[in-house]
Amino acid sequence: MVDSKEWEELLARHRDQPAALIQVLHRAQEMHGYLPREVLKEISAALNVPLSKVYGVVSFYSFFTTSPKGRHQISLCKGTACYVRGTNQLLDQLERELGLKPGETTADGEFSLSVVRCLGACGLGPVMMIDDDVYARVVPERLAQILDNYRLAGRQAKGA
């Protein structure tokens, strides 16, 4: 959880310092895990940078994210090789299965999805990663089962 004292100190240290914006955003994302609306408002007020500018910076750099990360991070490769071998079908299937678009997190906080440029495993396309596990030559039909494993793992961990 966020150490609120550390957070207050960070803001206080950079009060009225618009030039510190990127640095503070980095630190804020480290502390909160992501950059929710309320956090950006606090940064805007403290550093004296209009909120529209703060969001402009956040939405420009793909490093920053405004939605919380799911317990499991799904990354789909959209490099050329994977793309021609069916990344889009996988994306469609994921949307059907989880109601999830790239950059989003499921309502139950289980999964978030991102699309990446090239994972460097072009011979194995289409490639999907979940957390640190790599799945090669994924076909849409296999998705449901793969995802279930993670849901199960989550439940077991909780139950234990």
Distance in angstroms (rounded) separating the CA atoms of residues 96 and 93: 5
Please identify, using beta-carbon distances, which residue of 37 and 155 lies nearer to other proteins: 37
Q: Which residues of 98-131 are buried (b: 16+ CB within 10 A; e: fewer)?
A: bebebebbbeeebbbbeeeeebebeebbbbbbbe
Please identify, using beta-carbon distances, which residue of 68 and 120 lies nearer to other proteins: 68
Is 15 annotated to bind a ligand? Reply is no
Distance in angstroms (rounded) separating the CA atoms of residues 142 and 78: 18
Beta-carbon count within 10 A of 24 CB: 20
| Stretch of residues binding other proteins (CB under 8 A), selected from 10-18, 47-55, 92-100, 137-145 | 47-55
Site map (CB under 8 A) of other proteins, residues 7-46, x = contact? ------------------------------x--xx--xx-
- Residues near other proteins (CB under 8 A) are 37, 40-41, 44-45, 50-56, 59-60, 66
